[in-house]
Structure 1
Amino acid sequence: MPTYVFRCRSDCADFIERHSMAAIPDAASCPECGADGRRVIGSPALGAGDSSAMRLQDATRASAEAPAVVSSVPGRGRRATPVSSNPLHRKLPRA
């Protein structure tokens, strides 16, 4: 459910209410004084969450600003699996 911020006309603190997207009110009563409060347009809560996709985006963004620096070229290791000499194996897709 979306969260909406309302501002009281009597200079009370802003208050937050949740409503379905089908029934978005333009005004709501203030919990402190009971006066009408108008809905305020605010920023969406983008990027909020702790999912693996968000962690990946944060890591990608961090590496773009400050990439990791290496001091030497990595060495070439031996292949873990032996290479087949069968010519038919060359036509197979590679992983």
Structure 2
Amino acid sequence: MATYQYRCPAGTHFEESHPIGRAPEAPPCPACGEPSRRVITAPHLSRTGSPAFRLIDSTNRSAAEPEIVISRIPGSPRRVQPYSSNPSHRKLPRP
């Protein structure tokens, strides 16, 4: 949906949202009811940053092409680290 700006003969400005290409030529003014003319304005470009667009694009893309990350082969034995390299873990009781 696109937002179109209109001005009535009395000078009132108002906006309406319509599908692109289906905006009425002279909608009635909400204040006075007179037919209004469309005002040509600059497009309202989105102000969201590229990280937001990347998130939206990846969300839309994942609906059809899910991103699968496999950390190990299914059915293979899980490799467990026998000890921790963190020095504070040495003080813990051992089984």
TM-score for the superposition, normalised by structure 2: 0.48
TM-score for the superposition, normalised by structure 1: 0.48
Bigger radius of gyration: 2
